[in-house]
Amino acid sequence: MSRRPLIVGPLLVLMAGFGLGVYHVLGTFKTDTTQPAANPTESTPVFTLPGVLYLSQHGVIYKLQGQKFTAITDNRGWMQPALLPDGTILAVRRDAEYSDLFHLDANGHVIQQLTNDKGKAIDENHWVFYPKASPVGSSVFYAFDQPKFGYRVDMAIWSSTLDSAAVTPRAGNGSLAKQWTSPDQYTGGDIEPIPLADGGLIYVGYGVTPKEHINATILLASAPLRQSKPLTNIEDDCSWPALSPDGRTLAMVCTHGSQVASLEVAAFDGKALGPPRTVVSSDLVSAPVWAPDGSGLAYLAPAATGGHFQLWWLAGAASAAVAPASTPSPASRAATPSPVASASPSPAATAVGGLAAPQQVTRNLDFDATSAPAWTAG
Q: Which is nearer to other proteins, 272 or 285 (CB)?
A: 285
**Amino acid identity for residue 102 in this structure:** F
Supply the minimum distance, in Å, between the C-beta of residue 246 and other proteins.
26
Does residue 152 belong to the site contacting other proteins (CB under 8 A)? yes
Nearest CB to other proteins, comparing residues 129 and 142: 129
Find out whether 299 and 286 touch, Cβ atoms under 8 Å.
yes
Q: What residues from 358 to 377 belong to the interface with other proteins (CB under 8 A)?
A: 366, 368-370
Contact 43, 365 (CB under 8 A): yes
Q: Which of 1, 2, 4, 96 binds other proteins (CB under 8 A)?
A: 96
What part of residues 241-280 is at the interface with other proteins (CB under 8 A)? 253, 255, 258-261
Count of positions (residues) in the chain = 378
Query: How far apart are CB 193 and other proteins at their closest, in Å?
Result: 14
Q: Do 364 and 327 contact (CB within 8 A), yes or no?
A: no
Q: Shortest Cβ distance from residue 2 to other proteins (Å)?
A: 17
Residues that bind other proteins (rule: CB under 8 A) add up to a total of 75
31 or 48, CB closer to other proteins?
31
CA 173, CA 176: separation in Å to the nearest integer? 9
* DSSP-assigned beta bridge partners for residue 64: 53, 69
Torsion sign (Cα): 39, 41, 47, 48: positive
Query: Is residue 18 part of the contact set for other proteins (CB under 8 A)?
Result: yes
Q: Is 40 in the site for other proteins (CB under 8 A)?
A: no
Q: Collapse the DSSP code of 301 into the 3-class scheme (helix H, G, I; strand E, B; otherwise coil) and give the result.
A: strand
Judged by CB under 8 A, the residue of 9, 10, 12, 66 near other proteins is 12
Task: Return the residue of 3, 4, 30, 120 that touches other proteins, per CB under 8 A.
Answer: 30
User: Could you give the 3-state DSSP secondary structure of residue 25?
Assistant: helix
Q: What share of the chain is helix, strand, coil (3-state, %, to 5)?
A: 10, 35, 50
Question: Of residues 74, 86, 97, 198, which one binds other proteins by CB under 8 A?
Answer: 97
Q: Give one DSSP letter per residue of 69-107, joined into a string.
A: EEE-S-SSSEEEEEE-TTS-EEEEEE-SS-EEEEEE-TT
From 21-29, 63-71, 228-236, 311-319, give the range in contact with other proteins by CB under 8 A.
21-29
Determine if 340 is a binding residue for other proteins (CB under 8 A).
no
Judged by CB, which is closer to other proteins: 11, or 197? 11
Q: Is 235 exposed, middle or buried (0-12, 13-18, 19+ CB in 10 A)?
A: middle
Q: Which of residues 309-338 bind other proteins (CB under 8 A)?
A: 309
Please select the residue that binds other proteins; options are 286, 346, 359, 362, rule is CB under 8 A.
286
Told to check if 239 binds other proteins by CB under 8 A, we report: yes
> Applying CB under 8 A, which of residues 1, 23, 326, 341 lies at the interface with other proteins?
23
Stretch that binds other proteins, among 195-203, 224-232, 270-278, 299-307 (CB under 8 A): 299-307
| CA dist., res. 188 & res. 193, Å (int) | 15
Minimum CB distance to other proteins smaller for 264 or for 368: 368
38 counts as binding other proteins under rule CB under 8 A: no
Q: Are the CB atoms for 152 and 184 separated by under 8 Å? A: no
Q: How far is the CB of 170 from other proteins (least distance, A)?
A: 17
Name the segment binding other proteins (CB under 8 A); options: 133-141, 194-202, 270-278, 304-312.
Answer: 304-312
Give which of 149, 134, 189, 140 is closest to 169, Cα–Cα: 140
- Per rule CB under 8 A, is residue 219 in the interface with other proteins? no
Integer-rounded Cα radius of gyration of the chain = 24
- Nearer to other proteins by Cβ, of 153 and 315: the residue is 153
Task: Give the C-alpha separation, 23 to 13, whole Å.
Answer: 15
DSSP string computed for 346-364: -TT--B-TTPPPPEE--SS
Shortest distance in whole angstroms from residue 268 CB to other proteins: 22
**For residues 176-215, which are near other proteins according to CB under 8 A?**
184-189, 191, 206, 208, 212-215
* CB 223 within 8 Å of CB 199: yes
